[in-house]
Amino acid sequence: MNPDDLKYHKEHTWVKVSGKKAIVGITDYAQNALGDIVYIDLPEVDMDFEINSEIGEIESTKATSSIIAPLSGRVIKVNEDLSESPEIINEDPYVRGWIAILEIDDISELDDLMDSSEYEKYVEEEAK
């Protein structure tokens, strides 16, 4: 079940927005599809990026996958705990497994993201 207070990107990242800041992570669907996560290449603090660009990578026992920015902005903090324990993403993708905190450039980009019910429908369609 995807939390209702988050917004979701088609590349299976989520955001939790508070003012001009957004916490970013990957969805439960994404961590489940990846399998056991063994390494994460976190974005750099102060890195600027555009929506839909790669901000990092996640390696699992199955594959390596890009982390795609759900919004444009600048990284102001990363979850250093993931460097030592990337499996936290498997255990708790929506709370302890967050990846980065961003300062949002354009708040209107949120309008292009999905709510939890739209995301669940999207995942169902993608699985067909």
Global pTM reads 0.94
The residue range of the domain holding 75 is 7-127
Please tell me the total count of domains within the chain. 1
Residue located via tokens 């790669």 = 54
Query: What pLDDT, in 10s, does the model give residues 52-111?
Result: 999 999 999 999 999 999 999 999 999 999 999 999 999 999 999 999 999 999 999 999
CATH code of the domain covering residue 71: 2.40.50.100
Asked whether residue 66 is assigned to any structural domain, the reply reads yes
pLDDT band for position 128 (cuts 50, 70, 90): confident
Tokens representing residue 21 in the block: 């800041």
- The CA distance from 24 to 109, in Å, is 14
In a domain, 2, yes or no: no
